[in-house]
Amino acid sequence: MQVRVAEMEDAPGITAVVNAAFRKAEGFLLDEDRIDVQTVRALLDKGKFLVTDEAELAGCVYVELHGDRSYLGLLSVDPKCQGAGLGSLLMDAAEEYCAKSGCRFVDLKIINLRTENHALYSHRGYLETGTEPFPSHLTPKLPCHFITMSKRLG
C-alpha cells in the first residue's frame, strides 16, 4: 500500500476515518466527533495529511512543519482495517516526510488515559517531554490531560 499527500478533496474521507478511529479508541472518554470537514480543510491549509492511496481512504496522519521541528497528530486507521500494519506504515511515512523536509524532531501529544499509545510511541523512540491541559472546549467523561512526546529524527 502506498502513502501520498492528501488533496483538499480528500477532506471528507479524512474526516470519516479520523472520527471512526477515534470513536472506537476514545468512546470511553468522549461522546463527540473528533473533527469536522471544516477543521480538516483548515489543517490542510497549514500542514499536510498523509493518506493511504487505495480506492477507499483507510488511514491518515497529520504533519505540520515548524523549522527543525514537526508536529504529528491524528494518526487514524479505519477500524475495519486495523491490525494490518497501516498505522506503522503511516508513522514511517510521516517521520520520513518530516526528515526529508529538514526537521530534526517530531513532536506529538497523547491522552494520558490511553496508556497503549504511550507504550507504542515509546517503542518507536519517542520520549516524554511534559504535559498539557486537555482542551477546555471538550467535555471528557473522565479527568485527563495530554502527555507531550518527542523523537529525534536521523
Q: 54-113: per-residue pLDDT in tens?
A: 778 999 999 999 999 999 999 999 999 999 999 999 999 999 999 999 999 999 999 999
Is residue 74 within 8 A of residue 35, CB to CB? The reply is yes
Position of cell 487514524? 76
Average pLDDT value for residue range 123-129: 97
Q: What is the reported pLDDT for 151?
A: 98
* Percent of the chain whose pLDDT exceeds 70: 100
Give domain 3-152's CATH number out of 3.10.20.30, 3.40.50.150, 3.40.50.450, 3.40.630.30. 3.40.630.30
The domain segmentation of the chain, as residue ranges, is 3-152
Is residue 108 within 8 A of residue 148, CB to CB? The reply is yes
Evaluate if residue 7 carries a pLDDT over 90: yes
Residue of higher predicted confidence among 139 and 41: 41
